[in-house]
A and B are shown apart, each in its own frame.
Chain A
């Protein structure tokens, strides 16, 4: 027989020089082609007060009109509303999901406002984790709903962050990539804007809020990311209305005192936001969500469930033991449930039987009653019949007697008439 040498022998990492064109430079294209045929998922969470311009900004970013019914201010709590769309640009198919926080900031008591948001984000991680843990799973065509970017809309007060903002962002920063933006930035004067931005950033730092860092480790994007980071939080204006500026139509907001052009970098940071969110870092946002935020969630969740990576030797075993225990627990519960159900079933059967017996007894009684009644009626009828017969009989007798009398009378009458005739002669 053949003995097995399971481990590869002699593994060294050498850089080989190629004597000609091999052709694996097509690999990035091969990789990307796979993804284009499947489509990409990108999920944005918009956190901000009602009326702050979340929907308008999304419409502006993606050059389309997503929906039109604005929310009211009467929501009893914060509700997350997710909507999915399919966008296509050249050969790229994007499955975009926009999640809105309806009612955020409207309540008098905002203590629990962050909770539904955290729950939603966790629920998406949980769904992915469940799929990943399945025995028969299909991850390659899983519709990824994990939030890749959280746009946090800061109200343009011009002063500082609200405490709701700080609390919420602090709760979210370990779960999602936060990109803070100042909404409706056309209501802030330019000189105030700079101070506002600095105040916000320093407050974020002093409160230890980790916002998304545009990556600077890759040389092709390092420069643009570094330049853009300086302008955080982006002061944006959203608009889907077009106004004539010069000899072109541009997305803008028209005021009596002037026109705020959305795509004019002197007017607002919309272009910067679009660059960072879509054109430069979309893939990085997705990657960070998967390799950092999701892994953190997974680790916490599994540790919570009692799993550990101890020393290398016993790794599989600690996992195994815990799983065994869980499995037995689960089986025990199943058995208990089964027993309960069986008991209930037996009881129900007994009850039903008793009911049926009752019904049967009643039926028998009814039948007996009916029989008796029938017999009584029959007797009555027979009695009456007898009476009638007797009456008939006596009538017949009377009739016969009467007839006899009548015939006797006739005979004697005839005799008399004959006697009278004889006398006359």
Chain B
């Protein structure tokens, strides 16, 4: 086999064809792998951004969960007994922090949705949420379309939306279903069973299975979406995760002494619920997914899929005739248009995946 088969050389002004050649053999080290370190250094210098949104009714422990996830006082948590008025309308509230770990700087923005699902009539309570998410896409799009662009466009797009399902133990409520359906089309959604310490292990499992059934029945495609699995390794890893979603989580930002160890947990009369103990709750799974293994992937899916979908809609908006590539019309968006559910995601890879389970 000739290892030097090369792609045909094109004429001067066209692009060289994408290499489908077999690899070239190198005799001795060139030093190409140094590019990985170069990338890391640059990335660390630039810093990272991550924007997370928590959606759920009051009292489900959203703020506490954020504090637990990021091991810091992201939010001031509301103590039980203190009088905090429930907002009459849904107001989104964002806070940004810079956290650093081993030289890696992360600009974290957490958006809370106080008042969600708390009214008597919760009709269209998802509108402000979708509006906020789409507004961040719009901001990015406007920056991207400038003639003179910034070197690094600040990314305020929501990379992950953690949806808190109340621990009823039955199944998803109509509000949850409506909301999840809409959210999943616009943003990466990770549903969790909140305050899972009120359910036994068996109840959790049954609840989880029912929720999974509900989601399948209503075509709610949560993160990690099956159609974005790139290869067999991804599939295996992500299938395990998909099997356990929604994670049954408990949040805590207080430390207690258990067996001589200092652990984060909730102290109750009947015991201490250790947050980071897999036997007690699935918080470690959530933390690993969101932070330790899939953070970059969450950002990539947001950028390559959700943002691109938004962009396609925006650029096509006032077109009545079919367009070829390159033609863009940027009529300013009217307020009503952007909160309607968008089209289903286009899969990153064109592979058809006939099998449903794995």
Contacts and interface: CB of A to CB of B under 8 A. Distances in A.
A143 interface: yes
Contact of B28 (A12, A63, A130, A295): A63
A64 B25 contact: yes
B243 interface: no
Contacts of B93: 8-10
B293 interface: yes
B132 A278 contact: no
Given A11-B95, A89-B30, A2 B24 contact: no
Nearest to B122: A2
Contacts of A5: 89-92, 128
B328 A120 contact: no
Interface residues of A, number: 111
A95 interface: yes
Contacts, number: 316
Interface in A325-340: 326-327, 330-331
A165 B303 CA distance: 43
Contact of A26 (B13, B72, B292): B292
A134 B102 CA distance: 40
A128 to B, nearest CB: 9
Interface residues of B, number: 116
Interface stretch (A280-288, A358-366, A376-384, A404-412): A280-288
A266 interface: no
B16 A291 contact: no
B32 to A, nearest CB: 4
Interface stretch (B147-155, B159-167, B209-217): B147-155
A84 B7 contact: yes
A4 B131 contact: yes
A62 B35 contact: no
Contacts of B132: 4, 6, 8
B33 interface: yes
Contacts of B264: 20
Contact of A135 (B13, B29, B91, B323): B323
A39 to B, nearest CB: 9
A319 B26 contact: no
Interface stretch (B42-50, B194-202, B266-274): B42-50
Contact of A24 (B146, B295, B328): B295
A191 interface: no
A420 interface: no
Contact of B34 (A9, A27, A66, A279): A279
Contacts of A13: 96-98, 107
Contacts of A79: 11-12
Interface string B81-123: 0000000011111111111111110110101000100010101
B35 A92 contact: yes
Contact of B19 (A1, A95, A137): A95
A128 B22 CA distance: 25
Interface stretch (B57-65, B174-182, B308-316): B308-316
B33 A83 contact: no
A88 interface: yes
A127 B90 contact: no
B291 to A, nearest CB: 5
B258 interface: no
A37 B121 CA distance: 48
A84 B15 CA distance: 11
Contacts of B33: 89-92
B39 A32 contact: yes
A18 interface: yes
A30 B74 CA distance: 24
Contact of B128 (A2, A64, A220, A327): A2
Contact of A133 (B92, B123, B293, B328): B328
A97 B14 CA distance: 13
The 4 nearest A-B residue pairs measured at CB: A8-B94, A283-B38, A30-B296, A82-B16
17 contacts: A4-B90, A8-B94, A8-B111, A12-B95, A18-B99, A28-B40, A30-B296, A63-B30, A81-B9, A84-B21, A86-B23, A89-B29, A94-B32, A116-B12, A282-B32, A282-B34, A284-B38
Given A116-B12, A280-B38, 13 more contacts: A2-B124, A18-B100, A24-B50, A24-B101, A28-B40, A28-B44, A86-B23, A94-B35, A133-B326, A135-B328, A278-B31, A281-B38, A284-B42
